[in-house]
Amino acid sequence: MHCYPECYTCLENLARRCVSLAGLDSPKQGEVLAAALDYLEKNFSLDQISTVTAAGMQRVIRSKTGNSDPFAAVKEEELALARRSLERFPLSGSASLRELVQLAAKGNGFDYFQELSMLEKQFQEPVKFDRDDLDAFEELLQGYRRESGKKIVYLADNAGESLFDLPLANSLKRWAQVHYAVKGAPVQNDLSMIDLERSGLIDRFPGVVSTGTDSPGLDLEGASPAFKKLLGEADLIVAKGMGHYETLPELSLLQPVFLIFQVKCNPIAQDSGLPRNSYAAYFLD
């Protein structure tokens, strides 16, 4: 998915947020923000994917601030809120696949685009998918159970939602070998290998692997050779979040791709034909 005109404002807000979180004094903050906005002005294009511009702009910010992870505190806050929410509303031990996917989708709301104070209220609301391929998803998985050696790559998104992914990621092990893929280095509030190690969660997820990249969504060109090999061997890709909605259709992957995300902005709503704030769980065409 290429940029819409509205994406410029979102990227500008991302730059301001990232710089403000970097812990700089006012003169230096202004200097770094000017450099980030200059990069945005020179590189924004309606022919470009927004995640590519976002990644490059944040590399400028990290380089000029010397802060390798400006969103570190935000991610810790998101994870803490996710823990509290899940403790208050525990999932049944006999939850169905649909319920597990609904929980994973609900977790997609745990990110910096939304006010954290509103997320606990949102968590109490039921998830209804406006585009729903879950029956076909379960049918595919049931076929895997009758075969051997199948591989699923589960592409993680935001740090806070990782705890919502955990039951689904582990449940998928009934059908195939599962690899939970996270970013190789910090970028905005996406889940990275460092976050999993720091939080003590890394051993709770199946087959944790790094994409080797520091870009939102999936930057296959910049991915590590090991991850490219793994992705090529996968029989199914499960992808969380809007960044993967934006990037995966551009890659012409041969495997089926099952997207799980919440529609959080007007460009995604317009491109997908789904209402803003709705949820989706479907196979990429």
pLDDT tens digits for 182-210? 999 999 999 999 999 999 999 999 999 99
Q: Is residue 75 over pLDDT 90?
A: yes
- The torsion region of residue 217 among left (phi > 0), alpha (psi -120 to 50) and beta comes to left
The residue-averaged pLDDT of 60-76 equals 95
What pLDDT score was predicted for residue 25?
87
The residue-averaged pLDDT of 238-254 equals 95
Q: Is this structure's pTM higher than 0.85?
A: yes
Sign of the alpha-carbon dihedral angle for 74, 76, 77, 79 = positive
Structure-block tokens of residue 196: 């999993």
Sign of the alpha-carbon dihedral angle for 96, 208, 57, 258 = negative
pLDDT tens digits for 131-169? 999 999 999 999 997 777 899 999 999 999 999 999 999
Residue 281 near residue 134, CB atoms below 8 Å: yes
